[in-house]
Structure 1
Amino acid sequence: MDAPMGLGEFLRTRRARLRPEDVGLVSYGARRRVPGLRREELARLAGVSAAYYTRLEQGQSNNASAAVLDALAHALQLSDDEHAHLRNLARPSRTGRRPPERPACARPGTRQLIGAMGTVPAIVLDRRSDILAWNPAGHALIAGHLDFAAPDSHCDRPNLQRLLFLDPHTRELYPRWEEEAKRAVSSLRLMAGRYSDDRRFAELIGELLLKSPEFATLWQRHPVHNCVCGTKSFHHPLVGPLDLSFESLHMPDDSGQWILMYSAEAGSPSDSALRLLLDFLAPPSADPVPAHATEPLR
Structure 2
Amino acid sequence: MRFSILASGSTGNAVYVETDEIRLLVDAGLSGKQLEQHLKTIGVDPASIQALLVSHEHIDHVKGLGVFSRRYNIPVYMNEPTWQALPSSVGSIDERNRRVFETGTTWGIGNLTIHTFPVSHDAAEPVGFRFEHAGHVLALVTDTGYVNQRIKDVVSGSDVLIFESNHDVEMLRMGAYPWNVKRRILSDVGHLSNEDAGEALADILTGNGEDVYLAHLSRDNNLTELAHMTVKQMLEEAEFTVGRHVRLWETRHDQPTPLRPVLKKRS
- TM-score category of the 2 structures, normalised to the smaller one: under 0.3
Computing the radius of gyration over CA atoms, which structure comes out larger, 1 or 2? 1
Q: Which has the higher contact order (CA 8 A, sep 6+)?
A: 2
Higher helix share: 1
Q: TM-score scaled to structure 1, two decimals?
A: 0.24
Taking structure 2 as the reference length, the TM-score comes to 0.26
More strand by share: 2
